[in-house]
Amino acid sequence: MTVVKVAVNGFGTIGKRVAEAVTRQPDMQLIGVSKTRPDYTAVIATKVLGYDLYVPADKVEAFEKAGIRVAGTIEEMVEKADIVVDATPGGKGAEYKKLYVEKGKPAIFQGGEDADVADVSFSTLCNYTEALGKRYIRVVSCNTTGLLRAICTLRREFGVRSVRATIVRRAADPKEVKRGPVNAIVPNPAKLPSHHGLDVKTVVPDLDIITAAVVVPTTLMHVHVVYARLARSVTREEVERAFEEAPRIILVDEALGFKSTADIIEAARDLGRRRYDVPELVIWRESITVNGDEVIWMQAVHQESIVVPENIDAIRAALRLADKPEDTIRVTDETLGLKKFL
Amino acid sequence: MTVVKVAVNGFGTIGKRVAEAVTRQPDMQLIGVSKTRPDYTAVIATKVLGYDLYVPADKVEAFEKAGIRVAGTIEEMVEKADIVVDATPGGKGAEYKKLYVEKGKPAIFQGGEDADVADVSFSTLCNYTEALGKRYIRVVSCNTTGLLRAICTLRREFGVRSVRATIVRRAADPKEVKRGPVNAIVPNPAKLPSHHGLDVKTVVPDLDIITAAVVVPTTLMHVHVVYARLARSVTREEVERAFEEAPRIILVDEALGFKSTADIIEAARDLGRRRYDVPELVIWRESITVNGDEVIWMQAVHQESIVVPENIDAIRAALRLADKPEDTIRVTDETLGLKKFL
């Protein structure tokens, strides 16, 4: 089996999770991660996880002063890699692209970048084959990934005519202490549509979709209410079965105590999931409502981890390590332990 | 001019506001309010506001021990009144109804009661004339009142075919310290529809409406995202004008700094509004989105005060103090200072 060398540029919320996921893949080797600040995350990366850490050339001294072993510069890391996963802050990826181009390396970007950073915007259940062999692939953001998993599942089974969705966004990730709101509901923005629907269209261009987003004071997960019109009338059972059988989607029962995003996270903690991550899209079973060709449901998105499986698949698509979506999904989901919830 | 004697049974969030609104009406006299606990609100009602306070017969001693002057029992208060506004906790109104019936007094109930407590569920802009002379009238809840003000405005101007709406509810009122969530998004409930759509249909029975609600950690206001289909195609300008010209609806501009519910409340505080109340439905101007016969918008509902004008109108409807909705609206809105925002 070919084993490809993967570098992860940026070791924040997404980067640290993708790096770890890479180490679990039989066809990938993590050759290093990069950081710009010598903080506790850098200490964990090197001393606890044993990753090779690469830093900007002008930061080497600062890291060494902090007692953190540096393996080289970011340029050197990119040089050594077969492919780079760019998990730098939104907008930085476009700047780093110059380096990837210069070194002749393919790269995976995140949804914080504009769509034109890459040859294709990507979500495994929607357009895996379109991304095959593409040099630059952009994995769409957490909310868009959540929407697309459900939409493309229904699209494949029944066809989808239109989608209207309300995105109730979490205010901040758990460690972000400078973001809000603390006590308000914030239209994000008031002028519609929100960017999420537009971002969905970077993957499924012909879809009639409008999204409206608000930000609310919570850190755990986003919640969406989705109002869809399908290409034909369906039964509730058909829709439930489609979601149930889809990869990376789990159904939870309010009646079993999943009364809020906090219950989903509590279960993930009780199940011993690392960092309480829930990379699956979570749909409340009771919320699935069907009237003819209309389907409405509520879903929760764990913003920190949902894009991790798609990043792994994007690596396989770019380097043609798997020709069919089901082949990468099988390996990714097995190694990450997906759909083993309740 | 006839001046009717109004008693307010229950002096909580709604009761204290309705009582004050009654004192501002030229055709009404507040003859008393009731409370069951001798707390600081009872002290404010009697010593600061000078209201006559009525209490359950078995509580007279407790109030007098606390140094709070009692004017009589709740039975005596009802006896003296021409009409009672029941603002007791949800479900209690149905119990108190026996007393109102026994004493032969008409009564206004709140949305926390089941619809069958009254002869009609009520929202001024929708069905004022239907409530004329009715003995028992139920003013629908805050979220339902907010939905109905917008829907009935569009219905009158253009006709409405269907409504889908996401209700993002505040977790608790500012003084409620035992309610949550503190950090979660709670489907309310996961099984659709939420009761709000059903409650809308108690006033507009033929409307095709489905609502989905979540509760989020904030105390200031609810926010709705409404997806409506009208009976005909419209322009954005027509919709904006309809909202602008409707009573009890104000439009705010995100561009002017109204970026969240907190900005709406901050403006109400700066404008010197008592308790920072915003009894108007607040619609974000930029959010109004029109595609043919489809209209989407975002609106905010001040849960503590939005039903106050409708309670005043309900008194006039029950006692036939005004035969036409525009007559009660003019007096109510003028005396309460509505639509004087920005």
B87-108 pLDDT per residue, tens: 999 999 999 999 999 999 999 9
Percentage of the residues of chain A whose pLDDT score is greater than 90: 98
Domain B4-140+307-336 shares a fold with domain B142-301: no
Which residue in chain B is spatially nearest to A182 when comparing CA positions? B218
In angstroms, what separates the C-alpha of B248 from chain A's closest C-alpha? Answer: 20
**Interface check A268 vs B, CB under 8 A:** no
CB contact under 8 A, B287 and A227: no
Within chain A, residue ranges assigned H as helices are: 13-23, 40-43, 60-65, 74-80, 92-102, 124-127, 142-157, 195-203, 236-245, 261-270, 308-318, 325-336
CB contact under 8 A, A218 and B284: no
**Helix or strand (DSSP H, E) at B294:** strand B294-301
What is the amino acid identity at position A266? E
Q: Residues 55 to 74 of A: which have CB under 8 A from any B CB?
A: none
In angstroms, what separates the C-alpha of B162 from chain A's closest C-alpha? Answer: 13
CA distance B133 to B118: 13
User: pLDDT confidence of B1, banded at 50, 70, 90?
Assistant: confident
How many C-beta atoms surround the C-beta of residue A273 within 10 A?
17
Mutate to test the interface with B, among A167, A185, A261, A287 (most CBs of B within 10 A): A185
pLDDT tens digits, one per residue of B176-226: 999 999 999 999 999 999 999 999 999 999 999 999 999 999 999 999 999
User: pLDDT confidence of A340, banded at 50, 70, 90?
Assistant: confident
- List the structure tokens of B328: 């009660």
Over the Cα atoms of chain A, what is R_g?
20
The yes-or-no verdict on residue A102 having pLDDT over 90 is yes
pLDDT tens digits, one per residue of B38-92: 999 999 999 999 999 999 999 999 999 999 999 999 999 999 999 999 999 999 9
CA angle A142, A147, A149 (to 5 degrees): 95
What is the amino acid identity at position A221? M
What are the angstrom distances between the C-alpha of A288 and each of A146, A154, B23?
A: 16, 13, 48
The yes-or-no verdict on residue B340 having pLDDT over 90 is no
Q: Residues 150 to 209 of B: which have CB under 8 A from any A CB?
A: 164, 166, 168, 170, 181, 183-187, 189-193
* Active site positions of B, annotated: 142
**Interface check B284 vs A, CB under 8 A:** yes
- Looking at CATH, the fold of the domain delimited by B4-140+307-336 is given as Rossmann fold (3.40.50)
B133 phi/psi in degrees, rounded to 5: 75, 0
- List the structure tokens of A24: 């679990």
pLDDT tens digits, one per residue of A129-166: 999 999 999 999 999 999 999 999 999 999 999 999 99
Which residue in chain B is spatially nearest to A300 when comparing CA positions? B185
The yes-or-no verdict on residue A342 having pLDDT over 90 is no
- Looking at CATH, the fold of the domain delimited by A142-301 is given as Dihydrodipicolinate Reductase; domain 2 (3.30.360)
Which 8-state DSSP code applies to residue B286? G
**Helix or strand (DSSP H, E) at B137:** strand B136-139
Stretch A55-65: mean pLDDT: 97
Peptide bond into A247 cis (omega under 30): no
Q: What ipTM describes this predicted complex?
A: 0.93
How many C-beta atoms surround the C-beta of residue B13 within 10 A?
20
What is the amino acid identity at position B111? G
CA distance B97 to B78: 11
CA distance A316 to B226: 41
CB contact under 8 A, A262 and B223: no
In angstroms, what separates the C-alpha of B135 from chain A's closest C-alpha? Answer: 38
pLDDT tens digits, one per residue of B213-267: 999 999 999 999 999 999 999 999 999 999 999 999 999 999 999 999 999 999 9
pLDDT tens digits, one per residue of A198-237: 999 999 999 999 999 999 999 999 999 999 999 999 999 9
In angstroms, what separates the C-alpha of A285 from chain B's closest C-alpha? Answer: 8
CB contact under 8 A, B168 and A261: no
> How is chain B split into domains, by residue range?
4-140+307-336, 142-301
- List the structure tokens of A44: 């964990």
pLDDT tens digits, one per residue of A4-45: 999 999 999 999 999 999 999 999 999 999 999 999 999 999
Residue with tokens 């009338």: A233
The yes-or-no verdict on residue A1 having pLDDT over 90 is no
User: pLDDT confidence of B290, banded at 50, 70, 90?
Assistant: very high
Surface-to-core class of residue A292, CB atoms within 10 Å of its CB (0-12 exposed, 13-18 middle, 19+ buried): exposed
The yes-or-no verdict on residue B342 having pLDDT over 90 is no
Question: Active site residue: A31, A74, A120, A142, which one?
Answer: A142
3-state secondary structure of A174: coil
What is the helix, strand, coil percentage profile of chain B, to 5? Answer: 40, 25, 35
